[in-house]
Structure 1
Amino acid sequence: MISLKIEKILNIDKISLVMIFCGILDKNFARIKDIILIIKVNNSLREDIMGDYIFTITAVFQIFVFLISSYYAILSLFGLYRKKDKKEFEPQKSFALIVAAHNEEVVIGKIVESLMDLDYPRHLFDIFVIADNCNDNTAKIARQHGAKVFERFNKDKRGKGYALEWMFDKIFKMEKSYDAVSVFDADNLVSKNFLKEMNNQMCEGYKVVQGYLDSKNPDDSWITQSYSVAFWSTNRLFQLARKNLGLSNQIGGTGFVVNTDILRKLGWGATCLTEDLEFSCKLILNGEKVGWAHDAIVYDEKPLTLKDSWKQRKRWMQGFADVASRFWVKLLKKGIKDRDIVAIDCAFYIAQPFVLLLLTVAGILTFIQINTSGVNIFIVNYLLDEPLFWKSFSVFQFLLTPFVLLIERKFSKKLFAMLALYSTNVFAMKYLIGSKPTLLAAGEAQVAFVVVFLILTYVFFGKAQFKRFFWYLLYGLYTLTWIPITIQGIKDKDKKEWSHTKHVRQIGIYDV
């Protein structure tokens, strides 16, 4: 017991302790001094070895995260270019347009009107509405607007995936056949050229095609603008980039078409919380690719509040984590075995919840490195030890999304110019508050910088641009909320409860 206490106090091991007692018994105190010196050296070496071990583990982790981030960053750059010439085909394909609806009496009329007004031969498409477990006037209103309504009641199998699987089976058994089915949500509005663009892509050989997902209500709140920014940038940097590189796009839950033969062959079978992602994985495992129609626009209503947004995005992350747990290994095996970059890319995509957690840990390590003296754990600095490079890279990252929104005509040139000027704070802060400010001083300076630019934006560009500028800054907060949402989603990935988003107002196609 005494030896254990001494061992703890002196921070030495049992062998070293025995050596000291041997020295005492021999009454050779010079030997004891030598032994203690050796022990100190051994302890120092042990600490160095442990430090090297931690350093190595950290290096492997951070370099791995850096490479993944670089993959996504490089990939996104291919979305900046868009081919101007595209093939046009005469209307050939016939479509069954399916709207999945659960208690959507407020919005169902507008989506049916929007589909009725499509610029495509009327005999080549029919509109079907699934009134799924409804106890309101959804079915009645849909019929009044000219849709063919099928009412479904099943309390055990609830959710869009089950409703679609039920409806597809009915489509297959109809006397009239269709070349493809197209899926929409009840709150959607559709651009008049939607079926023309889908016809073009299918005539080029694609059996599954996803349309451009836009927003009906980007200016309702900072949450709706954050959603809209995320979708606008994803359309360009993720979807169009993959189209340009010949990779597979991803089905986005609404606004997509599927060839009926491939649907019959593979079966829908996608009844998880993100049935679109699940079906995308099945397609790629069977050698198919999803096409992209950048001009086939579907307008979607975004949640107004953080609470509603949180519930919806948690459901997405539950589905993502569920699909990743079931398909990641299969996709990676196929990618390696068949040297299929499409499958490998899809494996990277469905691993996003886990990649986000890795990025979070890397961010925490970076914060510790910056704000704690004597800690050298930000390994990437050793690879590129150049502050100017990292500051320039930060500006590039900050401006990439606004630049995409500029070329997509979602942000004005004035707003982009103001954001570009604002991004110079990375360089300006050093001259304003010094190179080693306190955390409080740095925070106060950042707040003052934001306030100055908000005032300048309001004075020179007006209230509308001021609001967009301020809300875009809050987009960073929206992005951070993905971290706890992702953790919750991974934790609850096996729970299948459906979270319904309630819609409270009507927006027509001419209002967007």
Structure 2
Amino acid sequence: MSRSHASGPDMNSIVQSLLMLSLAALALPVCVLFFQVLFAVRAKASPRDSTGVRPSVDILIPAHNEEAVICRTLAHLTPQLLEGDRLLVVADNCSDQTATIARCHGAQVYERADTERRGKGYALDCGVRWLEYDQRDVLVIIDADCIAEPGTIEALAVCTQRSGRPVQSLNLMTSATPDRRSSRIAEFAWVVKNHVRPLGFGCFDLPCQLQGTGMAFPWWLIATASLANGHLVEDMKLGLDLAEQGYPALFCPQAKITSTFPQSAAAIATQRLRWEHGHIGMILGTLPRICLTAARNRDAPLMALALDMMVPPLALLSLLVAGVAVSSAFYANATGIWLPAAGAAMLSAMYFTAIALAWWKFGRRIVSFLDLCHTLGYIVWKIPLYAKYFYQKQVRWIRTERG
């Protein structure tokens, strides 16, 4: 009996310590998300001035078997070109008519064939090396399935030249199947990630993550960047690499890029697996080093970027917050110790307030309140995706099929 009484309090203290550590680990990403949303909701005007004399641009489009979509992309881009601009499509290991269609629309085309070095990073590196011998003022990268809204190239080019830093456009994705609730929820989550959060940071001139498309760079900066890799989230890696060099990306919401989520369930699963495993891998593998570097160098923009990267995908963050809240409640009920439960309640309140504010200001046209109440099913559906990270992690870049 005495051993039982002696060991009981020790086990309680261990569980309590684990719960408090979990709360502390979640506090930073939840607080970052909360304040990003709060300031985005309060933003009265765009934080970035993109007016001025438009410099010359090179536009680089990496493309792999994009014959179904590249015609539309080029049709929206070519009216935005001025005399002296260049448009290059890197037809990367294509087996369709991508190169032919691009040439018919007046683009220069480089056909790359390398089945060993596969991935968007290699295509980008190839394009940069081809263009740099006769470079313009600014390089703009746009994916082959994206639509550049009118004025996008001008806004990106002017902002890049004025700041001397990388610039990220507003990058939105819409659902190809809006009648499906899960698709609408995914579209809302994308808005929070790519619009609300960078807008909130942009109010204080803090940097944002690069998002792979709608990115612009001064030529002298991108020419020295390390692009030739098959990293799952090559855009996030590039943004961190440049931020470590002292050139974090700026958010320019006047420039707008849109695209559509894949239609097939298999393509959606492949895309999300790559994005979310890549993001988790960056959090677990790269984030500690970035935080140490930022702290050691007293680099506030780099630390802000690290804090932003610390916020995991919304579905995963929802799972973690709910898991700690439920565990704390069970612990409080069993032991009568309510400190972890009180902390979990405060954290949950901040998180769900942030989601509610983001929905009210930016998401009501996408998801209804009823949709929002049914997100539990969407979150549960994604548990196997996160579980795969620990037993079947994706490590190789795989292109998402458009169909």
Is the pair's TM-score, using the shorter chain for normalization, greater than 0.5?
yes
The one-letter code sitting in structure 1 at the alignment partner of 2:387 is: I
Aligned length: 400
Q: Which residue of 2 aligns with 1:56?
A: 17
Q: Which residue of 1 aligns with 2:83?
A: 123
Q: 2:384 aligns with which of 484, 487, 500?
A: 484
Q: Which residue of 2 aligns with 1:93?
A: 55
Shift of 1:75: 3.0
| Residues 348-372 of structure 1 deviation map (CA, whole Å, 9 limit, x = unaligned) | 3444559986864553343345568
Please tell me whether the aligned partners of residues 30 and 311 of structure 2 are also in contact (alpha carbons under 8 angstroms): no
What is the distance in 2 between the residues matched to 1:71 and 1:393? 10
Question: What SS does the corresponding residue of 1:500 show, helix, strand or coil?
Answer: coil
The one-letter code sitting in structure 1 at the alignment partner of 2:93 is: N
Please tell me whether the aligned partners of residues 165 and 269 of structure 1 are also in contact (alpha carbons under 8 angstroms): yes
1:260 aligns with 2:214: no
The change in CA–CA distance for 1:473 and 1:133 in structure 2 (over 3 A counts) is farther
The change in CA–CA distance for 1:103 and 1:482 in structure 2 (over 3 A counts) is same
Q: Which residue of 2 aligns with 1:114?
A: 76
The change in CA–CA distance for 1:377 and 1:344 in structure 2 (over 3 A counts) is farther
What is the distance in 2 between the residues matched to 1:196 and 1:165? 24
The change in CA–CA distance for 1:491 and 1:81 in structure 2 (over 3 A counts) is farther
What is the distance in 2 between the residues matched to 1:93 and 1:480? 48
Please tell me whether the aligned partners of residues 78 and 245 of structure 1 are also in contact (alpha carbons under 8 angstroms): no
What is the distance in 1 between the residues matched to 2:393 and 2:330? 35
Please tell me whether the aligned partners of residues 223 and 305 of structure 1 are also in contact (alpha carbons under 8 angstroms): no
Please tell me whether the aligned partners of residues 89 and 199 of structure 1 are also in contact (alpha carbons under 8 angstroms): no
What is the distance in 2 between the residues matched to 1:392 and 1:331? 29
What is the distance in 2 between the residues matched to 1:213 and 1:159? 21
Please tell me whether the aligned partners of residues 171 and 257 of structure 2 are also in contact (alpha carbons under 8 angstroms): yes
Q: Pairwise CA RMSD of aligned residues?
A: 3.1
1:400 aligns with 2:357: yes
| Residues 151-190 of structure 1 deviation map (CA, whole Å, 9 limit, x = unaligned) | 11111011111111111111112xx321121111211111
Shift of 1:97: 1.0
| Residues 72-129 of structure 1 deviation map (CA, whole Å, 9 limit, x = unaligned) | 21233122233537645333321111111111111111101110122x5x21422111
* Regions of 4+ moved over 6 Å: 354-359, 389-392
Q: Which residue of 1 aligns with 2:286?
A: 327
The one-letter code sitting in structure 2 at the alignment partner of 1:81 is: R
1:398-437 equivalence runs, <5 A: 398-405=355-362, 411=365, 419=369
The one-letter code sitting in structure 2 at the alignment partner of 1:57 is: L
Identity %, equivalent residues: 20
Shift of 1:192: 0.9
Question: What SS does the corresponding residue of 1:245 show, helix, strand or coil?
Answer: coil
| Residues 430-472 of structure 1 deviation map (CA, whole Å, 9 limit, x = unaligned) | xxxxxxxxxxxxxxxxxxxxxxxxxxxxxxxxxxxxxxx54x5
The one-letter code sitting in structure 2 at the alignment partner of 1:486 is: Y
What is the distance in 1 between the residues matched to 2:300 and 2:256? 28
What is the distance in 1 between the residues matched to 2:204 and 2:180? 35
Q: 2:258 aligns with which of 299, 306, 310?
A: 299
Question: What SS does the corresponding residue of 1:278 show, helix, strand or coil?
Answer: helix
1:4-403 equivalence runs, <5 A: 40-84=1-45, 87-118=49-80, 122-173=82-133, 176-217=134-175, 219=178, 221-324=180-283, 327-352=286-311, 360=319, 363-368=322-327, 370=329, 373-374=333-334, 379-382=339-342, 396-403=353-360
The one-letter code sitting in structure 1 at the alignment partner of 2:386 is: T
Out of 367-376 and 136-145, give the one that drifted further: 367-376
With normalisation by structure 2, the TM-score equals: 0.87
| Residues 170-223 of structure 1 deviation map (CA, whole Å, 9 limit, x = unaligned) | 1112xx321121111211111011012113312431421111112354636434
What is the distance in 2 between the residues matched to 1:391 and 1:266? 40
Shift of 1:131: 1.0
Shift of 1:397: 4.4
The change in CA–CA distance for 1:383 and 1:134 in structure 2 (over 3 A counts) is closer
Shift of 1:344: 2.4
Question: What SS does the corresponding residue of 1:265 show, helix, strand or coil?
Answer: coil
What is the distance in 1 between the residues matched to 2:328 and 2:51? 57
Out of 325-334 and 240-249, give the one that drifted further: 325-334
Please tell me whether the aligned partners of residues 365 and 377 of structure 1 are also in contact (alpha carbons under 8 angstroms): no
1:500 aligns with 2:399: yes
Q: Computing the radius of gyration over CA atoms, which structure comes out larger, 1 or 2?
A: 1
Bigger relative contact order, structure 1 or 2 (CA pairs below 8 A, ≥6 apart)? 2
Provide structure 2 residue ranges, at least 5 long, that are not aligned to the other structure. none
Shift of 1:296: 0.8
Shift of 1:310: 1.8
What is the distance in 2 between the residues matched to 1:116 and 1:169? 22
